[in-house]
Structure 1
């Protein structure tokens, strides 16, 4: 983590010198020289940090030197941050926030009082810089004894990748049969994968973190009998890092029996020409094991030399980095999963009990608990099994079970070096982002957006270019780490694209903790917290309980930069704050706090403050003195108003107020740096116009209209909000509180015009409209060309559904709680073209060629109609209509829920939905009666079906079940009209 801090310090030292030059005033005699000396030493040390970080794994003296330097780096950052904060505060005192949208800081026009303050500040910073320089001089001289190497290097004695071969003992491999079968099938499949051209070399990749068994799986596939019969040539090359094209080419030729001829060849061109000749017209399988390099220029010459192979030749790649697989043009990515506990146990006991089967029964219970610590990772299982092979007593096994894996020497020697290779491949600027994750307990669901805010608070993203969004840099860092298999269990957004949350594998977490060393600490009790290590802790996660009578000693060192807690005993809170003077990230989520002390203003370094899920009613005005604050999260709290001076938080980028019913002060409009402002309550006293300059907003925005608002009088404010300029908003929600009496807000036609005036962010992908007091959709909805997900709920005044079929990119549509809607007509499909309906177009003799066919809902994949009590008719298309229109060509899931009056489904409409896979019908009793009673189903079915109805249970019926007759009858109209329909997966009925 030190390198990120050092980079910050160097930048801030430069700004100190710039400030002197700008004002033409020296800090103190000789300090300019001190600053330059300090900067020079830091830059020099930064060049050897890479080598020092790698050697600390084996050299205790290096580890001690690094810890001392880390501590000094943090102290430097604190001093310079204190200096910058004091200057900024002094300058803000000169600004009238009520009349200036954002302070424009100037060093030229300042009061004499201000000058005196700055003189005092200069003297203070000068003395501290001198002290820091003295301390750094000692560390700087000590580095020479270690003979560090500048730049990046891999220590060949510690981090040399193990060379692999194709040889494997299948009897010692467990749990990979299914993976092997899938890959063998893909290899032998003559049909190109993912529409790849037949004449191109087809690449497949196995992707997974270190120690997961990628090489073992590739060996199993390589040695499979059917693979041996299919490919005339089989070639195995261990690539590793760096990617040496000449060495790889020679290794290929050696496998082809041309090693002697290629020994004296050193030109890549000559070698690849030989490869090209040797494989020409032959079907080959080339395994490139352990590929790291992402540079396509290194891969391209080799790929081109392979194109002469016979059609059906394959390249199988193993890599830890998904970006490598993508770069190499993989047509199929096999993401290797974890082993089951059963398979891990089989592997474990094969090693741990070799030659001593008699001990298995005695130690089996503890052994299985130890295996659980491996969490499905084969390398970890083999490492611990190898350790326990030489331990005989129950006490020795219990000690291993009770120990943290990252503290075991065997992990550092045999397990972590494999993960360290992945860590070394991560750009150095990203490594603190990875090690910081050790602050989260194991198996924690990590919310990505929150993680990025925590990284930002620690300065890990400060190297972003001036024209680059810091949050976007953070997203890039996360994506890079995720593609290197350092995160898992991804939860994605509604489109399956962006990762919302993730977890860390326990072994990877152990490694992160190992690399973080003493800087990260998670504590569930106070045992051991008084050790000398406490002073080195910088990031602390406290899992407190009511029996705590005092704060942990680690909190009293004054060194913490992160303090995370989900519960803090109320009697300790005041004492806690007084000891967090240098904290950057403070999370007190769900800590049962009723009040925030005023002296929170003393936390001048604070960037991230999370007070969500607390029974707070207000924030003290002193919060507004935290001028470095970037994130303020008060979501799901009882706070009723933001502090009046909120506009002083000029660095605030994320104001999270989900589930809050807030009053907004006028000064809110000055926070033009906001990227997150997720909810605006339009109520008496809150002016929508304050959103005017919030054009940097990203993510989601909810506008909720209270029932005490005279909307007509808000027209000017709606125009001033300029939602059309909020081009980065992807999710927009417009909600009206009064859903029982929608006419409460006034004339629906007038309100419709007002909502048209309000508009919408132009690039919205997800739109949620709740209880609109109108009789039609806003006009702007048809201009939302990026709209992919639309939910309409509580349309009290709507008698029919609006025309939505022409939205070009809509993928998901939910219609919920339209109590007055009785039917769905052609209008819903948007079938009118140039003012003429289908009958007119057909009768006029107009051509029905493919080019004139209108597609309704061209990209819709999911349609849900729910809680429409009066919905009884879904109008069908006529035979003539089908020549003019295509409907639901991509629809996969259709759900009709709690529509009790609906009698039947339109056969031709659904008959056009040839991609339909799932149809769910729940609590539609009229529909049920129509299909059961009127179609004369067998008595066997009636007895079974009505029995299910009486007990109000849920059942899933497949066409192979005893009641398949019912499914066939229900589907008969669809199948006869659209024989290519995929609706054979069944129909889900909830009978009540």
Structure 2
């Protein structure tokens, strides 16, 4: 069977074989599927027998997490032969008979022993890298970019319309989207337009959904309106008085009525420009108010430059003559299409033999159907040259919709569950999967859309997606819900795509093909936001009971982002299941029968509604990833420590009583990678148990959270013993427990919450933790902070709710040979109600400090002098008694929020300050702006309800933007001149300033409202003018609505706002 699969892994040959041969191969593939199912079922029976034998011997009760020194691993007994069940034996007989029929009908499969699948050593090595691997390579579009910018900023169409439409027209793969991105992100465009938005338009869009997305792209916040009238009103209000640019990418629909309903509210803007990209000339004619811009093919010289850059690398100087001659001919075959050039050149980067290049040049693929535009043949050739191990993985992406963002770890887990990640050594499967992802990115088959600490998102170009549909058309089916009815029985992999949030999905057995291996419901209701905090739409799913019988061959079952509420006990019959996702469902209980799925490798149960994990979880001996909602009140049963294959366990909840998990079960989980969240540490009453947990040997952990609070709720867990069984925990006991929970020195991030001891352990702050970059200390009774200043790589430190700390002195910086906090960039103190003084900072401490936040510290009087010469941003919130700021020679951004000492704000001597915000200060009556702020460009004063005077405004010679909002008592003198450089003035909800406005010269006022004020560099400083996340957002400042606030709550979705569907791809 392995040799047969080797032949079936040659799709390049399939495309040129005759119809009869393709039919035989199709029959052969069906045989392989059925044979694999039979083999896997027998393996399951053997595993089930082993588990039952262990239970009979009582082995399960002895496999706790505790292990004594000197214990030796017991050798496994020889496996006892397991008889083949009668039903399975009959199926195997029929499968073999069918195979004999196939081979009799076709005797030239041409397989030999060398066809057995082997993993070449170099296939498993990391692929070559270069500094340009992840960059978008754009060649030959400089003139196009300049032309489009001139058209957009020329003031509209010739007849002076308020709303103008410029279409960029061209075939797929030509670079329309890339050109639009270049224009959209140009600093001149950002300066010319007041607001910008970017939306990808799907072929079957709804007007209501698209209106909501446009509004979201303008405001960068979730749209609460749900009715079309409300959306139109919101759009009209948003663009009123604004010059706006809206990019509508990849438009197909020509219906004028739909577009009129969508665009009519935007006529309230004094100037609106719509940049539209489309492949359809008719679309351009339907909406044009300006002549369309036809994007041309790349000329031969530019095509060769792009090809050479990707095939040889940007640093190449000399190219061997034969390579250059062949490469130029291949580039010419691509017909000037950037996507085709990128695909074929990226593939050839891994081909060092000239013969291979000539094979591609002379390939018959160029002449196959579809070659009239040269895109699909180039992609086919690139795909054909791909190593087999990549092909086997890549085809599974055919189940995703076009323009869909997908997470790296989800894809790797799917590959692992389908057994297509192969290793010849000791590498983790997950690491192999990451190598495959990187290889596909380098070959331009997918592109990295966004990457940050939490997320690593990718997408594919439409034409790459079309290629996948071509090579998987017989086995893989991705179908929209409205077309989901009877399906051909040949499909083995099924993806049901839902694109409307009010869709009700009823599934019954007649719809599902037998032998299905993957079934997933894809919630595509605005996938651009699906990994942000805004995405909460669920699909109502109802599954008829007979359907579960059709799922018996499933390996992957994915209900994520649906409204599924229950699972039947019959899910335990899916004995081949390896991947089960209940992410963001409404499941409250996982049936105990799930614990008989011995092949299960991935269980994603990250749903807040889940109350507890089934008791038999310990039987899932193949489980590698158990993903749980970290902050949910979830109970965990004993036995977790027996899952020794676990690679990820996002949450470990400690409880009381025999049913619940004990901390000793962490002992054997030495393979946990990346992150571990431990909650309920207050229930640890034995210091030896904490020592046995063996955190010090968990070398793969990068992030560790230790929370003493109880993570479960008595009302949700039926096994919760109640407080009457709790042991009294003393501060001394908690100190000893934390001392025993010393982590491995490889740790990078540490959070300690609700700790009840009076002092910190010796290990916290020890310089041996040289890789520690982030620490959070939350809600603790300690009176002194630990000496963290000697951690060499610490970049971020957050101290919150430390009620016992009154003084922070020199011990905070630590005793050592190095300066205190040598690498720290961000420091935060919040809710320190008894903190009075901060001192003990010596010259040279905090040499890299960039941002300091001090919030809700009402007793604090003094900050250290000096503090840090590198400090550039300072946030002070509700520190009523703070008398004076220290010398801050390089600070450029200052936020003062809440009640303040009036002298503090009137005595600012900050020569490099560029941005100042004062808000919610209800006690100050006068702000004196002296001449010691020579570079201040942005000033915001908001909701200072008692403020009456603003003195010295004319002293701010560099001021460009002035925002005054919600200052009901503020009055300005009629003879007080405005700063000469002022370019934007915003005044809202200040009734005492109405007469002052009337007095101002109307012409000057109009000039202010319409002026451009901010370059790209200026926008970076505007970050401080945004509200904190707890503030209302209905009055966000006019030109900084697209900047993240000072809390950084909004996810950064890159250059295309909230609608990144195709970042960096050619279209």
TM-score under structure 2 normalisation?
A: 0.56
Distance 2:541 2:145 in 1: 56
Comparing 821-830 with 753-762, greater Cα deviation is found at 821-830
2:906 is aligned, of 927, 932, 942, to 932
Deviation string for 1:315-338 (max 9, x for gaps)?
Answer: xxxxxxxxxxxxxxxxxxxxxxxx
Task: Give 1:696's aligned residue.
Answer: 671
Q: Structure 1 residue 124: deviation in Å?
A: 4.0
Task: Give the RMSD, CA atoms, in angstroms.
Answer: 5.2
1:848-887: CA deviation from partner (whole Å, max 9, x where unpaired) = xxxx6x322222222233333454543264xxx43xxx22
2:847 alignment counterpart = 889
Q: Conserved in 1, the CA contact under 8 Å of 2:24 and 2:102?
A: no
Of 772, 777, 787, the match for 2:772: 787
Is the aligned partner of 1:558 residue 2:515? yes
* Separation (CA, whole Å) in 1 of partners of 2:946 and 2:593: 60
Match of 1:503 among 435, 439, 459: 459
Which of 30, 48, 60 in structure 2 is aligned with 1:89? Answer: 48
Indicate the structure with greater helix content.
1
**Aligned counterpart in structure 2 of residue 49 of structure 1, from 10, 34, 42:** 10
Match of 1:434 in 2: 394
The correspondence for 2:60, drawn from 92, 95, 98, is 98
Call closer, same or farther: CA 1:753–1:139 in 2, change over 3 Å: farther
Supply the distance in 2 between the matched residues of 1:181 and 1:706 (Cα, whole angstroms). Answer: 51
Distance 1:720 1:622, change over 3 A: same
* Cα distance in structure 2, aligned partners of 1:151 and 1:720: 44
Quick one: which of 772, 789, 803 aligns to 1:805? 789
Counterpart of 2:103 (choices 137, 141, 161) is: 137
Runs of 5+ in structure 2 lacking a partner? 65-72, 119-138, 149-178, 187-278, 280-294, 327-341, 355-367, 524-537, 712-722, 874-889, 910-926, 948-955, 964-977, 980-1017, 1032-1067
Structure 1 match to 2:36 = 77
> Which position in structure 2 is the counterpart of 1:921?
895
- The corresponding residue for 1:535 is 490
- Structure 1 counterpart of 2:546, from 575, 595, 606: 575
- CA shift, 1:630, in A, is 0.7
Q: For 1:947 and 1:540, how far apart are their aligned partners in 2?
A: 50
Work out whether 1:829 is the aligned partner of 2:796: no
Say yes or no: does 1:766 pair with 2:749: yes
Contact 1:900 1:924 in 2 (8 A): no
1:235-634, aligned counterparts within 5 Å? 248-250=319-321, 290=345, 292-294=347-349, 414-461=374-421, 463-494=422-453, 500-527=456-483, 529-530=485-486, 532=488, 534-543=489-498, 548=505, 550-551=507-508, 553-564=510-521, 571-634=542-605
Contact 2:28 2:99 in 1 (8 A): no
CA distance, structure 1, for counterparts of residue 892 and residue 474 of structure 2: 53
Cα 1:666–1:292 shift into 2, 3 Å: closer
2:802 counterpart SS class: coil
Structure 1 residue 911 and structure 2 residue 894: aligned?
A: no
2:798 aligned with 1:814: yes
Tell me by how many angstroms 1:292 deviates. Answer: 4.8
The counterpart of 1:705, out of the listed 670, 680, 683, is: 680
In structure 2, distance between residues paired with 1:75 and 1:958: 79
**Structure 1 residue runs without a partner (length 5+):** 1-8, 11-38, 153-165, 184-210, 223-234, 256-286, 300-407, 834-851, 967-981
* Distance in 2, Cα, partners of 1:292 & 1:655: 36
The count of corresponding residues between Structure 1 and Structure 2 is 699
Aligned-partner Cα distance in 2 for 1:573–1:951: 64
Look up the match of 1:961: 960
Q: 1:454 to 1:812 in 2, by over 3 A?
A: same
Q: How does 1:131-170 map to 2 (within 5 A)?
A: 131-137=97-103, 140-141=106-107
Aligned partners of 1:958 and 1:673: how far apart in 2?
66
Moved more, 681-690 or 889-898: 889-898
For 2:296 and 2:757, how far apart are their aligned partners in 1?
Answer: 59
CA distance in 2, matches of 1:501, 1:887: 38
| Counterpart position of 2:719 | none
Q: Distance in 2 between matches of 1:221 and 1:960?
A: 48
Does the CA-based 8 Å contact 1:904-1:930 persist in structure 2? no
Are 1:949 and 2:944 an aligned pair?
yes
Is 758-767 or 924-933 further displaced after alignment?
924-933
| 8 Å Cα contact 1:589/1:614 also seen in 2 | yes
SS in 2 for 1:856: coil
Instruction: Measure how far apart 1:180 and its partner are.
Output: 12
Deviation at 1:411, TM superposition (A): 8.5
How far apart in 1 are the matches of 2:960 and 2:941? 16
Question: Alignment partner for residue 606 of structure 2, among 623, 632, 635?
Answer: 635
Q: 1:645: how far off?
A: 2.7
Q: Is 1:988 equivalent to 2:1047 in the alignment?
A: no
Q: TM-score, normalised by structure 1?
A: 0.60
Shift of 1:603: 0.9
TM-superposition CA deviations, 1:15-60 (whole Å, max 9, x none): xxxxxxxxxxxxxxxxxxxxxxxx5x555x25x725325547xx76
Partner-residue secondary structure (3-state), 1:751: helix
Q: Secondary structure in 1 aligned to 2:380?
A: helix
- The question of 1:681 aligning with 2:653 is answered yes
- Give yes or no for contact 1:586–1:608 (8 Å, CA) kept in 2: yes
| Residues 817-863 of structure 1 deviation map (CA, whole Å, 9 limit, x = unaligned) | 33444443222222x34xxxxxxxxxxxxxxxxxx6x3222222222
More relative contact order, 1 or 2 (CA 8 Å, 6+ apart): 2
Shift of 1:749: 3.6
Q: Could you say what secondary structure the match of 1:693 adopts?
A: coil
Question: Cα distance 1:121–1:744, how it changes in 2: closer, same or farther (>3 A)?
Answer: closer
Q: What is the Cα deviation at residue 688 of structure 1?
A: 0.7
CA distance in 2 between partners of 1:411 and 1:253 (Å) = 24
Q: 1:78, 1:763 → 2: CA distance?
A: 42
In 2, are the aligned partners of 1:897 and 1:924 still within 8 Å (CA)?
no
